[in-house]
A and B are shown apart, each in its own frame.
Chain A
Amino acid sequence: MPIRSKTFCESYHEDIKLLNTIWSKCWMGVFILVLLTLPYTTDTYIVYLVNLSCIAVVAAIGLNILTGFTGQISLSHAAFLAIGAYTAALLSNHLEMPFWIILPAAGLVSAATGMLVGIPCLRLKGLYLAMATMSFGVMVEYVLITWKDLTGGERGLYMSEVNLFGHLLDTDESVYYFLICLSALMIIIAKNIIRTRVGRAFIALRDRDIAAEVIGVNLTGYKVMAFSLSSFYAGVAGGMYAYVMGHIHPEHFTLLASVEYMAMIIIGGLGSILGSILGAVFIVVVPEFIKLFAQALEAAIPFMQGRYDEEWNIAVFGLLIMLFLIFEPGGLNAIWQRIKSGFKNWPFTY
């Protein structure tokens, strides 16, 4: 039997399989096992961080579908999260709907808004689109602050706990399993969208929109679809965010938050689902390391005593965006692929 040095695909179907080697299946199994046993092996804080990461992953995938795959710059992702979060809070507080209706509803309301924003934005691209979406974000923020009767203004809204068919998920550990399943589901959906016709249309649209139109890709339809898909993801993430945080207010959904989501997909890797996951986890975890670093610094230099605040995180995000764009435009995903192929081809360089 000849020894194969690499994975060969003999059909297109084989090529686009999600897990195409026995090894990737094994690793995935190990990864899932680690995730499932995590609450028993670590403390609550880590579980809480994973919860936040799961929400960020869903949001980042949404943004990556729009910006990374379809090439439409959006600086209003946080606004769509806000719409999802406020929809969830309002439905739960006023109409007392069950959780399994609220979460999809949050996604759908956000998707409908995304479509409404997407349609007028069809004519815009590049810089102009960035500006238009940014101004949409500012307007949403304004509405959240001023429409006090509905949104509670600066005080925000409180949120009940997740009630899944009578099971109250009131601890971080119990929400954890739900969030893992939810984000896994969202990841699989996104993966499947991207590897089929719709995904290819998105990518064609990003690379050369006019050429894509000439060969028969319906620009209008796919652009609107990308907008509504992306905001559906954002809406679901926003709804879960409201449940996990227990309290939402306009401060969570500013332009800065949108930039943070942008940072996730740039650092993770544009146009890559794995990249969105890596980037989202990275952005959630990095502040913890900054905190540790700042504590070490405070212990070492008396001058730095008590100087650490949120501002440091933001500065680091800004710096990271710049460094990644200059030195590693492919993001963490590119680094990961390099490591992987390094191992695969060892001891050869390629």
Chain B
Amino acid sequence: MYLLQLLVSGLAVGSLYALIAMGFVLIYKGTGVINFAQGEAIMFAAFVAYYLVTRFGVPFWIAVPLTLVTSALLGMVTERLVIRPMLGEPVFSVVMITIGLSIFLRSMAGIIFGHHNYIFPDPFPTEPLHLGGIVLSHNHLWSMIISFTLMLVFFLFFKFARLGLGMRATANDQDTATLMGVNIKKVYALTWGISFVVAGLAGVGLANVMVLNVGLAFVAISAFPAVILGGLESIRGAIIGGLVIGILENLAGGYLDQIVGGGIKDVTPFAVLFLVLMIRPYGLFGTKEVERV
């Protein structure tokens, strides 16, 4: 029973990881960039939702769409100001600029919101669901439902929608995509918008489960392993990677914590990440890059 409970709560945490991972994968799929500032997008969305609900008294079900719209705007503005000037620059510069963006946004949040914890008003019934002896909170259930729905939506989007195909083409080769008539600027703006919306969803979900403070941004760093495990350009991989990492983390926390004395939960994903990179650098579902000189 203990094992089963660990598995289920791992699955629940994993579905949140999966949501975060999806944000990364979307940007990578659309633009070939890893956005290290994804965590800050999550944190900002959580704070926006918090302020809407507590300070302005907006009902939760209206606050969520409003938050998502704000997130999308933030994503597009970021893309316009920071990423657009870097079009065509080497990967290294783009990676570093998102890292710069990430620490800039996080410390701005620190200056604005301070470092104390906020308590997010829980919209769900506090009484968790009991499924044959296993406890599962409403929040986790919802995040699982949302991740799986989104997975389906994006799967169809990238397979059939014109824009989705354009995004894949852009990631593959910017120059060729431009020559084929893909409007790269539009693709970039939309990709960042959509990805920040997914981050926003994750943010609202996480603010409910964890304490809301500036440190929420670090969650994205713990979701990296999920992204790598699944493969950088696979939505399906992001979901599975997220779930696997969530479960592994919970199992390690449940069984190994007594042996090493705490904290193993936080470092397990990174150990997994390191191992995966050694064995299969392109992840479970990623495509191996073919290089030309």
A interface residues with partner B (beta carbon < 8 Å): 67, 71, 73, 75, 120-121, 123-124, 126-128, 130-132, 134-136, 138-139, 142, 145-146, 208, 210-211, 214, 255-256, 259, 262-263, 266, 307, 311-312, 314-315, 317-322, 325-326, 329
Contacts and interface: CB of A to CB of B under 8 A. Distances in A.
Contact of A214 (B34, B262, B281, B293): B293
Contacts of B34: 127, 130-131
Contacts of B105: 318
Nearest to A123: B281
**From DSSP, what is the main secondary structure of chain A's interface residues?**
helix
A128 B91 CA distance: 11
Interface residues of B, number: 44
A281 to B, nearest CB: 20
Q: Which of A128, A142, A255 has the most CB of B within 10 A?
A: A128
Contact of A138 (B106, B110, B228, B270): B270
A232 B15 CA distance: 41
B103 A139 contact: no
A255 B103 CA distance: 11
B93 interface: yes
Contacts of B260: 146
Contact of A71 (B92, B273, B277): B92
A135 B262 contact: no
B50 interface: no
A131 B263 contact: no
Nearest to A120: B278
B100 interface: yes
A132 B277 contact: yes
A321 B224 contact: no
Contact of B281 (A124, A145, A320, A329): A124
A193 B11 CA distance: 51
B277 A138 contact: no
Nearest to A127: B34
A325 B263 contact: no
Contact of B273 (A135, A317, A325, A326): A135
B101 A127 contact: no
The 3 closest A-B pairs by CB, nearest first: A318-B104, A321-B100, A135-B270
